[in-house]
């Protein structure tokens, strides 16, 4: 497909478990963003990758959150020792480059529910 792909679409897990969320950006897009969207709220920036540069992790809410991306390919967002407040939709977006005149292309998100 031509769009941003995220998996799984839904994830239910018990408090304290680790989860891994995957994002496959549009081919050729060098910039990749992760956002968190809590129920009824806007998008909260988590992390930004641009090519092989060091990522901007300034939005990660705690050290339980981490993300990786190899080159310009797939990214994974990992949440360790999940808490109930981690329940949210996690959205991934990509753009062709870091230029701000590029609208973001979003995946459909992963809905994470922590029991």
Partner 1 sequence: AQSVTQPDIHITVSEGASLELRCNYSYGATPYLFWYVQSPGQGLQLLLKYFSGDTLVQGIKGFEAEFKRSQSSFNLRKPSVHWSDAAEYFCAVASTSGTYKYIFGTGTRLKVLA
Q: How far is the CB of 58 from partner 1 (least distance, A)?
A: 9
| Rounded Cα gap, residues 4 and 21, in angstroms | 13
Q: Is 28 in the site for partner 1 (CB under 8 A)?
A: no
Q: Are 75 and 55 in contact (CB under 8 A)?
A: no
> 103-115 burial by CB neighbour count: b if 16+ within 10 A, else e?
ebbbbebbebebe
Task: Draw the binding track, 45-74, toward partner 1 (x: CB under 8 A; -: no contact).
Answer: x--x-x-----x------------------
* Nearest to partner 1 of 16, 96 (CB atom): 96
Of the residues 26, 43, 55, 76, which one makes contact with partner 1 according to CB under 8 A? 43
């Amino acid at each position: 497909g031509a769009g941003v792909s995220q998996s799984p679409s839904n994830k239910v897990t018990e408090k304290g478990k680790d989860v891994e969320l995957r994002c496959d950006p549009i081919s050729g897009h060098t910039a990749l963003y992760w956002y968190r969207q809590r129920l009824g709220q806007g998008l909260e920036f988590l992390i930004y990758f641009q090519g092989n540069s060091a990522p901007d992790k300034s939005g990660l809410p705690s050290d339980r959150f981490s993300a990786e991306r190899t080159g310009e390919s797939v990214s994974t967002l990992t949440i360790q020792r999940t808490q109930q407040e981690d329940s949210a939709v996690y959205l991934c977006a990509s753009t062709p480059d870091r230029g701000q005149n590029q609208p973001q292309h979003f995946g459909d998100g992963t809905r994470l529910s922590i029991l």
